[in-house]
Amino acid sequence: MNARTVDWSAGRLARDGVDRAEGLRERKKRLMRQQLSDTATEMFVERGFEAVRVAEVAAACGVSEKTVFNYFPTKESLVLDQPEATMAALRTELARPELTPVDAALRVLADELGALTAWLDGHEDPALAVARLRRFGELVQATPALRAHQRDMTDQLVAAAAETLARRAGAGPEDPEPQIAATALLGLWPIQFRALRTHLDGTRTPAQVRAAVTADVLRAAELLAAGLGPWPPAGPEPAPAPALP
């Protein structure tokens, strides 16, 4: 979902208590980016991703097609524009030495889930809000180009997580330990998405959705925590010294 529909940074800002001053130019750029993404998403959901040209999105927003691509490098990124926020959050949380990798990932996931349920809670028509979210999910699942883009974004997130974990461990990002740890951690995101599809059934309150989704994610995280443990991982046990003759 796009940045205006759900403010993915809201949870982190509220938790950290950071007041980031925004200049007029930055605000204009942010609002234009939001308008482009919102407009594109609505058009794609209504008519289908392949049926809408980027030029049509630009015309609907009163800008040139070049302006759209100045903000979004690809058509797919008009819809799936969350990874930048997720990548920044992952780098920050995974770098915290007091957190295990699993706890760091859970903090990011909790922030994203909190932003989503807060948006639902503040919506005038909860049923309409749930329907919009479900239509958005259906759009992504029904569009091969968007699914491929989603896989590419996951690869980028894995690479960023592996790099951060490797730095903490004093290892290389291509070493097996940070690679497998990062891949496993990013597996928690599909768990949260699937849990949302299950529990966003129109009968639960936003608080109940958050509790149910969190419970599912924590069940999966327990399995990871048992395998990953603290970070950096302990090295192999040294080989015993040969017996003296």
Per-residue pLDDT at 241 exceeds 60 = no
- Answer whether residue 145 shows pLDDT above 90: yes
Is residue 129 within 8 Å of residue 209, measured between CB atoms? no
Rounded mean pLDDT of the chain? 86
**Cα–Cα distance, 125 to 140 (Å, whole number):** 23
pLDDT at 96: 94
Q: Which residues contact 210 (CB under 8 A, 6 or more apart)?
A: 113, 114, 117
d(CA 198, CA 190): 12
Percent of the chain with pLDDT over 90: 62
pLDDT at 161: 96
Query: What SS3 state is found at 125?
Result: coil
Per-residue pLDDT tens over the stretch 192-233: 999 999 998 888 999 999 999 999 999 999 999 988 877 887
Q: Are 75 and 90 in contact (CB under 8 A)?
A: no
pLDDT attached to residue 11 = 41
> What's CA 212's distance to the chain center, in Å?
19
pLDDT band at 245 (very low <50, low <70, confident <90, very high): low
pLDDT in tens, 33-47: 989 998 999 999 999
Question: Which residues neighbour 130 within 8 Å (Cβ) at sequence distance 6 or greater?
Answer: 120, 200, 201, 202
How far CA 228 is from CA of 36, 51, 168, 182, 184, in Å, comes to 40, 45, 14, 10, 9
Q: How far apart are CA 23 and CA 19, in angstroms?
A: 13
d(CA 125, CA 170): 50
CA-based torsion, 86, 105, 9, 118: positive or negative: positive
Quick one: pLDDT band at residue 235, thresholds 50, 70, 90?
A: low
- pLDDT above 60: residue 5: no
pLDDT digits (tens, 9 = 90+) for 75-120: 999 988 777 889 999 999 999 999 999 999 999 999 999 999 998 8
Residues 6+ positions from 75 with CB-CB distance below 8 Å = 49, 54, 145
Question: Is residue 242 very low, low, confident or very high in pLDDT (cuts 50, 70, 90)?
Answer: low
Cα gap 11→17, rounded to integer Å: 10
pLDDT of residue 133: 85
Q: How many of the other CB atoms lie within 10 Å of CB of 25?
A: 8
Pick the CATH number of 10-228 from 1.10.260.40, 3.40.630.30, 1.10.357.10, 3.20.20.450: 1.10.357.10
Of 61, 72, 90, which is closest to residue 3 (Cα–Cα)?
Answer: 72
d(CA 42, CA 46): 6
Residue 126's pLDDT is 79
Q: Report residue 144 CA to chain centroid gap.
A: 19
pLDDT band at 244 (very low <50, low <70, confident <90, very high): low
Comparing C-alpha atoms, which of 233, 218, 227 is closest to residue 107? 218
